[in-house]
Amino acid sequence: MPELPEVQAHCERLTEQFAGRVLQRFVPFNFTALKTAVPRPEDASGCPLVEVGRRGKYLLLRFEPVTFVVHLMQGGRLLVDDKQAAKPRNGQARFVFTEGPALLLTEAGKERRAGVWCIRTADGIDVPPLDRLGPEALSFDAESLQRSFVAHNMRLHGFLRDQHHIAGLGRMLANEVCHRAKVSPFAMTGKLGLEGAASVLQAIRDAVDDGLAYERTRSDMSSSADRPGAVHGRVGEACPVCGDTIRSVSYSGYTVAYCPACQTGGKVLADNTTSKFLK
């Protein structure tokens, strides 16, 4: 799933290419693509795109009357669409401009979870579906992060992925942040203290900076295998910091990857999925 750096760099690219272009029409290709009934997307027709902004992992295509809020979920992409085929592969919706290429929202797979919400630009962005998001990952200071850690005492990896507590991070950055901070992904947030919060915060900033620096070199959005990282997707490889073997704990939808020597005092954590087979 694209996370903060990928979405942010993509918003910057799209603003550069599309700001000022006049929307001709918004075309959903199925009933699930547009998640809202009011305001109508037609209200933006004839208006220039002001910018493509971001909140959490959402892209915000801002026109004067209406902002289109786009979430890519797992397999969605918002692509520059030169061809404008009648039935585009995996097509969910299209933004057609009066001249130049369109923007095509695609989603691979059958889940149909990516989508577009229309909100009134004048209402600001603290409205559904954005109103349930926690503060932006980069907006915390050590004190506010520690307060949130104490208020939501839970495993650090789960906290970092929870968009209601901190917006913009996903599975990859949660793995990378825990590794950079040298904290177990299963450490309880309430026990990290101010010092722990400060080191997690620094790890978030560094991981996002590295991700952004890489992503800004690209002309399109990366997949997670391309992104710079030390532990995510590197199970069985040597930790670039200490040389120990990267281990993992697997869940149905995702894998928590960590370095025992760097993060858990050398302890290898039980893998729920594998240990079942070992019994």
Contact 202, 141 (CB under 8 A): no
Among positions 183-242, residues that touch Zn ion (CB under 5 A) are: 239, 241-242
Question: Closest approach of Cβ 187 to Zn ion, in Å?
Answer: 16
Pick from 104, 166, 262, 264 the residue near Zn ion by CB under 5 A: 262
Question: Closest approach of Cβ 216 to Zn ion, in Å?
Answer: 28
Closest CB to Zn ion among residues 150, 241: 241
Closest CB to Zn ion among residues 54, 180: 180
Question: Closest approach of Cβ 239 to Zn ion, in Å?
Answer: 3
Closest chain position to Zn ion (CB): 239
Closest CB to Zn ion among residues 2, 229: 229
Pick from 49, 119, 249, 259 the residue near Zn ion by CB under 5 A: 259
Closest CB to Zn ion among residues 100, 266: 266
Q: How many chain residues interact with Zn ion (CB under 5 A)?
A: 7
Closest CB to Zn ion among residues 188, 238: 238
Give the residues lining the site for Zn ion (CB under 5 A).
239, 241-242, 244, 259, 261-262
